[in-house]
Each structure stands twice: as C-alpha cells, then as structure tokens.
Chain A
Amino acid sequence: MNTVLSQDVILKLEDVSKVSAGTVAVKQANFEVRKGAVNVLVGENGAGKSTLMKIIAGVEQPTAGRILLDGNEVSFSSSGDAVNRGIGMVFQELNLFGNMTVAENIFATREITNRFGKIDRKEQERRAGEFLDRLEAGTRPDMLVEDLRIGQQQLVEIAKAVSLDARILIMDEPTSALSASEVEILFKVIADLKARGVAIVYISHRLEELIRIGDYITVLRDGRITGQEEMRHVDTQWIVRQMIGSDAKDFAKADDHVPGEEIFRAEDICLPRATGGLAVDHVSLSLRAGEILGIYGLMGAGRSELFDCIMGRHGHASGKIFIDGKHIRERDTTRRIRRGLALIPEDRQREGLVSILSVASNLTLASLSRFVRLFHIRGGDERQAVTEMVRELSIKVADPAQEVSSLSGGNQQKVVIGKALLTGPKVLLMDEPSRGIDVGAKADVFRTMRKLSRDGLGILFATSDLDEVMALSDRIAVMSNGKLTGMFDRAEATEAAIVAASALGHGPALARLAPEHGEQR
C-alpha cells in the first residue's frame, strides 16, 4: 500500500498468532485498521475472525506477534484495558443483563455516581436516551432489557459500544437480528461515526452488506489472512474465492452404481429462529438408497439446522420425515437413531467424541445396547466390532485402547463415522465431513463416503465447499436463508448455477435495497 494510506492506520497487528487448546485459531495475521473507514473482515465459520477481534478488544491475548496502536506497541490484559485505549466492541452474542434497564446496561461498569457513590439514574437515563435516539431504537432507557425484542436488544448493545466514544469500534455481526429498516439506521450511524474519524471494524456474513458499506476488506481462511484489498477493487466472486480457496483435492472416483429405491424423505421441515423468521424454511427433499445428496450453502443457510431437525434435536421443529416410506413419528434423537438415522456432527470435538475415552469406547458409545447381555457388556463382542470397524474404515491406530484425542483429525473423523455406522443406520447425515482435516485425510473420508453409498447407505452431506459438493454428489441441493433454492442432477449442475442459487434472497436487507443503492451512486 502507498504512504498516504498507511498514515491512516490507527491499529496494526503484526504476525499475530493465537493458539488455544492445541489448535491454531489465528496464524501470523497481519491486519491494519484505518481510521475514518469501515474495515471489513470476512471468512467462513471458524476462520478465526472472532478470535482476531477478541485479541484487538483485549478479551483474549495473542500467543505471538505485536499489536501497534498509533505506532506504539501495546498489550491488553483485559477488555477494560482496550476500552481505556478507545477500543469498543459489539459482540456477536448479546452480552446484556436482562434484569437491568437499558440505561443501566449502557452504563454498566461506567456508572455515573455522585460524591457519595450513589448512582445518578436520571442522568444515566438522559444520556442513554440520546444514544438511543441517534439509533432510532424506539426503546425507553428505563425499560428492562429482557422485555425488548432481540433486534432492539442488539441496538442497545450497539448504543453501549457507541457510548464508549471509541476511536476503534469493532462490530461482530451487528445486523444478524436487525430488520431491514434498523439496518438502514445502523448504516447511517456508521457513516456518521466514519465522518468523525472513527475506525470501524465490521464483520458480517452478508456479502452484499459488506460491499455496500466497506472501504477495505480482509479475508480470513483457516486462521490465515488470504486477501486484503480496497473494497472498490473487489466483487462478490473475489470474496468467495478468497474465503473458500482452491486447494487441489483428491476426490475419490465415482463408481457407476445406480441408486436404489427412495430410502428417506423429508417434508416441509420448518424451524423457527429465536430472532424471528425461520432458520429452516419449508424444506422437502428425498434420498435414495446408495445415493449421495450434497447440500450446498453459505454460512447461515440452515444446513446444520436442517440436519438437527431431521435428527430430532429441536423440539419446536415441524415437518414430517419418512424412512423406507414409513412415517417416523418419534420426535427424540434416541428413537430416531434406532429408526436408522445417524448424524456426523459438524463440531467433531464437542459433539462427536468424548475426548478422554479410548478409540474403542468412542466407537461403541452409541451402540452399547447391542453388546449387552442382561446387565453387563460382553467385552468379546465389543472388541470384535471395534476391530472390524477399525479395519473397515482403515482407522490408523496402534491400539484401540488409545485415547481418541491422540489421533489425527482425519482419523478422529473416521471414529465418529464408525460410531454412527455401528448403530446400523440406513441414512447417514454428514455435516461438513471434511472440515479441519488435512488433504490426505479428506481423500480418505471421501473414499469412505463412496464405499458406504455403494453398500446401499443413503448419504446426505452438507458443505460450503463448492468443489466438494460438485465432485462427490449424485445430486446437489442448494440452501439459502433456510430455504431450498435449487436441486441439480450431477450432469446438469454448473458452478455458476449453484452459486447463483446459494445467493438467492441472501441478506434480507439488501435484496430490496441493493437496487436503490445502485441508483444513488
């Protein structure tokens, strides 16, 4: 970048890395924040955006690297430190106190007190009112936060950050719960802050939104910064390319077995969102035995939520599911597993494995009742099943009694798959089966998927990787904003068509506003 630009840099991260619990969340990131500009940060889920922002906001400390504020090296030991230096943050999760009023929340830890330490409520409410008016929040400062809509709560959170009078304001997904008109007001406030020289760091998954308000964009993938550019030089495709990357992958060859009869069908699956609207919006699809159906969608498209609904993890989901043409009336996960459904969850560490148990114990965890006679587990049977599964999936482990956490990511994933297979499923749901495992292991997992489909299992897998969905699927379903927006046979699918379907109705605020914005310029 040229010298004119570097003068505006207020905050600079140099080679910052963050290692937590053995995994690298951020790898040698170099990130510059310019004042009087909206610095956009974008990346897939788990790319390390939030971690990077928490480092800037002092919530987390970097393992390596330097932070330069106005050219001087600084280190923040707590978020209070960062606030004192003029760095404020709107957190993605709402961090409000429900039992307190709006004003009390805005002034939490910065209460206005008189000489005797008595809080001056009137003054707090008056000043809070000013910030709320600027945001046109439509809430009174003396209302309890728990009585507000989620969108209004988000505005309170934003008002809180704005009231800090920060020089650098980080906004992590500030619009996720806002309505279209509220987004407009927020953008006005952002423009106002920008004009006053505030540096804004803006994180969002809504690409159109980013392109509209961003001045500079930085893309993160797997903890690395993969692209940094001025916004006027980039378009959606550039962003997506930087976000998803184009690693050469070894996809197992398709064999030409013909899928059998319909084995699974979902009808009208709906899941209401806590913030209003539907996370899964009337999704219906069917799957044949031996077929691999890939579900493609961007972050927040509702893929994982759909799987959760099918598995019965949400009590308030509606819709019908059928296995072998039979309506499944059971609503709880336990009995749905018994009916032949199995899920390979997205978050392997938290939902897929019990990390302190051995490989063997993890494998048989979901199917222990198979090995039980009266009230004890038949060790011989269990061991035999484990040995078979280790061989079948070629899990690389010296001794199945080893702790599962000692395996590599790819082999851990195979253990999760093996655990699901031991329950004797007819339909396997795989949520991002290749996430966080190296290229070689990915190929292994893909081969396993092929093999299972050849054996007559129906496989539904969700991914945000375009190459993966193109190469592995017999059919491709595309989701966007909770809706099924496309269904393609492998023969007729093109990248362009899939990407177009995945962007349908994306960014509720902008679907309508984008044309207006075009006219304004």
Chain B
Amino acid sequence: MNALSAFTFWAQKNRWIWAAIGVLLLWFDLSVVTNRFSLSSLSGIILSASFLTVVGIGQMFVVTTGRGNIDLSVASVITLSAFVALLTIKGQDANLAIGVATAVLLGLAVGLLNSLLVVGLGIPAIIATLATGYVLATATLLSNKAIPGFAVSPALKDLATGRISGVPIMAIIAIVGVAIASFVLRYTVFGQLLSAVGQNRTAARLAAINNGRVIAAAFIISSILASLDGLLLGAYIGGAFLEMGQPYLLQSIAAVVLGGTLIFGGSATALGTLFASILLILIVTTMQIIGLPPGAQDIVQGIVVIFVLALAGRQALARRAAVDPTDAAAAKTGPGAAAPLSK
C-alpha cells in the first residue's frame, strides 16, 4: 500500500511512465497472442515510431506554450519538405547539404509565418496553423508537377533505413532528439521560460519574460523538426506522395497528450512523447494484425486521444476541487488567518 502511494506520487511527477507501461503491456499481449511478434518486429515498430517522435517533440514544444497553442501545419510541412527534398537533392549525395539546408529554411519560414500569425497578429493557433497548412498544400501540388522523378540520395537513404547492429539509425536519431529536448526542458533557461509562459502568462510578463519570443521559438522548433522529419520520411519510403504527412497531424498531438504533456501547457515530457509514439504505432500495428480497415484505425486513434484528454481534464478539475476545501479546513483548524478574527 505504501509502495503503491509512493509510486502514485512518483508517477504524478513522471507522467511518461503511463505510456511506457502501455507499451510494455501491449507488446507483451502481442507477443503472447501472436507468435509473429519478436524483438525484430519491435524494432520495425520503433523505426516507424521514430518518425512520429521527431515531429511529436516539435508539437510538444508548441503545446507547452499553453492557451490552446497547437501546430496543425506539421502534416503539410512534412509532405512539402519531402517533395522539396526530391527537387533539391535529385538523388545525388553531392546535393545533400543543399537539401538539408533547404529543409531547415523551409521549417524556419513556416515557423516564422506561424508565429507571425499567432504572436504578431493574435490569431488563435488552431486557425492560423490550419490556414498555413492549406497554403503549403498548394505549394505541394505545384512541386508535385515539377518533380523530375523519385530518386533518393543514397546517404540519406542509409540514414533513414539503415541499422547499426540491428538498431535503426532513425531510432538513434529520435532518442538523441528526445535526450536533447529533455535537457532543454529541464536544464536550460529556455526550458524554464517555456514552462513559465505555458503556466501563467501574466506572471511571466510581470517577470519580464518576452512571451511572444518564447512562443515564436516553439513554433519555429516545431516546423523545423517537421521539415527534417519530412526529409527523412521521404528518404525512407523512397519518394514522396501527396498527403504523406497527413497521419502525423492527429498522431503528433496524440503522442504529446498520451505521453503526459499537459494539453493546457506549462509542463512537458519528451520521454513521454517517445513512449507514446511507440504506443500509438503499436496500436496501429495491432489493428493491422487484427485486420481492421484503415478507416476503423483512425476511429480507434481518435477515441484514444479523446479518452486521454477526458482523463486529463478530469484530473485537472479534481485537483482544483481538492485544493480549495483542504486549504479552508487547514486555516480553520490551524493557527491560520481565520482564528483571530473572532476576537
């Protein structure tokens, strides 16, 4: 009992643990039920999850700035970036540097545009980034026409599909990304500012924090990560197609909230985003094994997100309700402010 309450307390501060437990349970289930499951199939799942993790981390930064901030343009950025990579690299390793630079620039431009709309013009992020996504979709259509052919630079393909002693390089990239994000969140001034802005914007302003700059930085990080992700994803599937980024729209948000990052902002966990990405891919894989049609898979994913958000919302309400009465009771019985009033 004591150990359990200690665990609950610990888990409150390390919310990523729930996603990790989910991964273990589901994987164990699958290994028992189907014989097809093994370590190697897990590594396949981790490969897919890695692409999700990279874009999920960006999304996490944006969500953490609070007030309903969200980046709905990531899907379009991924698609466009894959197309632009094909156009710039043209299957030549020599063009790789230009390709990567273009991807970063693309991310930077979209991130700046998003922050201009959200921070500068005060448009709610949900609408602003949705609109940006539509604009980018048109750009994608144009580049689709201009595309010379599907040729991927070998070096990039190695990066996206290769393995080092069985571990996908992509997974290493994702894990390094998660480690960096964790460090930034926990040990750097930027991480503190991000958390402060997400929790209490008025207080942040009064503490002389430039809220706009912090939020803009989050949007830029999100777009750049999405863009780099698109570059790698294109290399992985050996080309690009319209709507290839689409699944990452809901999934990136799902990975953030499922991982334990607060949807209301102010508290993020990169490790949670990693585990939640794996969990989501596991869920999708499970459904594929069962043989559910793709439409039904989307339904299940949507339900999972709603379920998690409902749970998170209830927790927030319960917490608020729990704080008030205990406070009042403590002051009544203790030597608080109320006692001397009666004199």
Interface residues of A (CB under 8 A from B): 59, 78-80, 83, 89, 91, 93-100, 104, 108-109, 111, 113, 117-119, 121, 146, 149-151, 177-181, 272-278, 281, 316, 481-483, 505, 508-509, 511-512
| CB–CB B188/A508 < 8 A | no
CB distance from B322 to the nearest CB of A (A): 11
Contact pick for A95, options B188, B202, B266, CB 8 Å: B202
Q: Mark B164-197, 1 if CB is under 8 A from A, else 0.
A: 0000000000000000000100011100110110
| CB–CB B266/A97 < 8 A | yes
Contact pick for A273, options B200, B328, B335, CB 8 Å: B328
Q: Which residues of A contact B196 (CB under 8 A)?
A: 97, 100, 108-109
CB distance from B279 to the nearest CB of A (A): 24
B residues 294-337 near A (Cβ < 8 Å) are 323-325, 327-328, 330-332, 335-337
Contact pick for B327, options A100, A178, A275, A483, CB 8 Å: A275
The CA-CA distance from A273 to B325 in the complex, in Å, is 9
Interface residues on B, range: 35 or more
CB distance from B343 to the nearest CB of A (A): 5
B residues 196-247 near A (Cβ < 8 Å) are 196, 199-200, 202-209
Say whether, besides A97-B195, A97-B200, A109-B209, A276 and B340 are in contact (CB < 8 Å). no
Q: Which of B324, B328, B341 has the most CB of A within 10 A?
A: B341
Q: Which residues of A contact B183 (CB under 8 A)?
A: 118
In the complex, B267 has a CB within 8 A of chain A: yes
Query: What are 15 A-B pairs at a CB distance below 8 A?
Result: A79-B205, A79-B206, A79-B207, A99-B199, A100-B195, A100-B196, A179-B336, A179-B337, A273-B328, A276-B330, A276-B332, A505-B341, A509-B340, A511-B340, A512-B340
Q: Which residues of B contact A119 (CB under 8 A)?
A: 187-189, 192
| CB–CB B327/A111 < 8 A | no
In the complex, B342 has a CB within 8 A of chain A: yes
| CB–CB A481/B341 < 8 A | yes
Which secondary structure dominates where chain A touches chain B? loop
Q: Which residues of A contact B343 (CB under 8 A)?
A: 505, 511-512
In the complex, B147 has a CB within 8 A of chain A: no
| CB–CB B208/A276 < 8 A | no
Q: Which residues of A contact B155 (CB under 8 A)?
A: none
| CB–CB A149/B330 < 8 A | yes
Name which residue of chain B comes closest to A54, CB basis. Answer: B206
Q: Which residues of B contact A178 (CB under 8 A)?
A: 337
Q: Which residues of B contact A79 (CB under 8 A)?
A: 205-208
Q: Which residues of B contact A281 (CB under 8 A)?
A: 341
Contact pick for A108, options B192, B335, B337, B342, CB 8 Å: B192
In the complex, B338 has a CB within 8 A of chain A: yes
| CB–CB A118/B337 < 8 A | no
| CB–CB A275/B337 < 8 A | yes
CB distance from B244 to the nearest CB of A (A): 36
The CA-CA distance from A83 to B206 in the complex, in Å, is 10
| CB–CB A99/B336 < 8 A | no
Q: Which residues of B contact A59 (CB under 8 A)?
A: 205-206
Known: A181-B335, A272-B325. 5 other contacts (CB 8 A): A59-B206, A95-B203, A97-B200, A274-B327, A276-B328
Q: Which residues of A contact B337 (CB under 8 A)?
A: 151, 177-180, 275-277, 508
The CA-CA distance from A511 to B338 in the complex, in Å, is 12
| CB–CB B332/A277 < 8 A | yes
The CA-CA distance from A481 to B339 in the complex, in Å, is 12
Name which residue of chain B comes closest to A84, CB basis. Answer: B208
Q: Which residues of B contact A511 (CB under 8 A)?
A: 340-341, 343
| CB–CB A118/B187 < 8 A | yes
Q: Which residues of B contact A111 (CB under 8 A)?
A: 189, 192
Contact pick for B324, options A104, A177, A274, A277, CB 8 Å: A274
Q: Which residues of A contact B203 (CB under 8 A)?
A: 94-97
Q: Mark B139-178, 1 if CB is under 8 A from A, else 0.
A: 0000000000000000000000000000000000000000
The CA-CA distance from A184 to B223 in the complex, in Å, is 53
Q: Which residues of B contact A109 (CB under 8 A)?
A: 193, 196, 207-209
Say whether, besides A95-B200, A278-B338, A108 and B207 are in contact (CB < 8 Å). yes
The CA-CA distance from A95 to B266 in the complex, in Å, is 14
The CA-CA distance from A273 to B328 in the complex, in Å, is 7
Q: Which residues of A contact B339 (CB under 8 A)?
A: 508
| CB–CB B266/A99 < 8 A | yes
CB distance from B334 to the nearest CB of A (A): 8
CB distance from A32 to the nearest CB of B (A): 24
